[in-house]
Amino acid sequence: MTSNKEAMKGLREIAVGGIRFKSNVLMAPLAGYTCFPFRLMAKRLGAGSAYTEMVSADALKYNDQATSKLLYTDEREQVKCVQLLGAVPTVFERAAKSDLLAKFDVIDINMGCPVPNVVKAGEGSALLDDIPRASKIIEACKRSGKVVSVKCRVGMNGSRIVTEEFARMCEASGADMITVHGRTRAMMYDGEPLYDQIRLAKESVSIPVFANGGICSKDDAEKMMELTGADGVMLGRYGFENPLIFSELTGTECSDTKYTLITEQLELAQECFDELYVLSYIKKLASYFMKKMPGTKRLKADLYRCGSVSELRDVLGGIFERSGNAD
């Protein structure tokens, strides 16, 4: 439960292009997780923005059911941000100008995903090694007239750091904002963020620079802001593990517990998606919420045996409410 807590140092509203975010604490795109219900929750708890799951720019041409779920939104999400993945500038331009993305205000370009099959396709962090192509992709997205942000890493590995050159290229190509994950591609998701490299990016450009990587508490967020001079922070996986962190960082009053959050998510997901998707999403979210709880192995077994929403609801009550782990 959060009430009347002091926000992190440096909290403020921030303008990105022509869009104003209510706070400079953002939720990162997470493939398989940041669906519409989760984005609404993060924003209610104080996040200035939250991005869709990673969407393949090329896959948009198929307009299939899976893609429509990734892009689901409605008027309750006031500032709509989508993240695109790809490697071909013309494909990005077609996607950015498509009717499918007409409802989105901000396009974020994924230039940081370190997953091997993404990198082998020349996408994600592979673009750190192809700065001319990365520039053309940003320019292509800007021709849509939308606000464009870029999420990147500091380089491919310790001997191939490109922070300053890449940040300058992003700004020169028309990007309105950069989020720098303070690790190399080789570091994946482990190790202390390279704070000095994020600071270098911030000092190299005049557009907003957000810092990402290793933020799991208010202390972590304040340390990141102090050491990098960043305009704000973007939370990754910990935002999914404990969404109440947004309330803690922004001083947003709430009386929620993990139990009230998970039941709210269940109701929202039922409004938007079919039962199979609801079961899959809520089980993943609940599994994150259960980290560090006693008896997790047995509880997860009970959770994943659920075959219907009604059964899932009962099991969630047993895990988070009646077990005394509602907070």
pTM of the model: 0.94
Based on the domain organization, do 196 and 285 belong to the same domain? no
Based on the domain organization, do 71 and 32 belong to the same domain? yes
End-to-end CA, the chain = 7
Based on the domain organization, do 176 and 38 belong to the same domain? yes
For the chain, the average pLDDT equals: 94
- In the block, residue with structure tokens 């892009």: 71
The pairing of strands 14-16 and 19-21 is antiparallel
Of 215, 250, 285, the one marking the end of a domain is: 250
Q: What is the pLDDT of residue 66?
A: 87
Assess whether 113 carries a catalytic annotation.
yes
- In the block, residue with structure tokens 């991005």: 51
**Chain center to CA of 18:** 20
Q: What is the pLDDT of residue 3?
A: 46
Q: What is the pLDDT of residue 2?
A: 46
Query: CA separation (Å) from 88 to 58, 177, 188, 212?
Result: 9, 21, 24, 26
Based on the domain organization, do 179 and 301 belong to the same domain? no
**91 domain-assigned:** yes
The helix/strand/coil state of 250 is helix
**115 domain-assigned:** yes
Based on the domain organization, do 231 and 301 belong to the same domain? no
Q: What is the pLDDT of residue 51?
A: 97
Based on the domain organization, do 209 and 266 belong to the same domain? no
Of 199, 218, 250, the one marking the end of a domain is: 250
Based on the domain organization, do 284 and 147 belong to the same domain? no
Looking up residue 29, the CATH number of its domain turns out to be 3.20.20.70
Q: What is the pLDDT of residue 327?
A: 53
Please give the share of the chain, as a percent, with pLDDT higher than 70: 97
Q: What is the pLDDT of residue 292?
A: 78
Q: Are 173 and 149 in contact (CB under 8 A)?
A: no
Based on the domain organization, do 108 and 212 belong to the same domain? yes
Given the residues 35, 81, 113, 306, select the one marked as catalytic. 113
Of 196, 228, 250, the one marking the end of a domain is: 250
Based on the domain organization, do 24 and 46 belong to the same domain? yes
Based on the domain organization, do 242 and 289 belong to the same domain? no
Q: Which domain holds residue 96?
A: 14-250
- Domains: count for the chain: 2
Q: What pLDDT digit, counting tens, does each position of 150-165 carry?
A: 999 999 999 999 999 9
The mean-pLDDT minimum among 2-11, 25-34, 260-269, 317-326 falls in 317-326
Based on the domain organization, do 171 and 204 belong to the same domain? yes
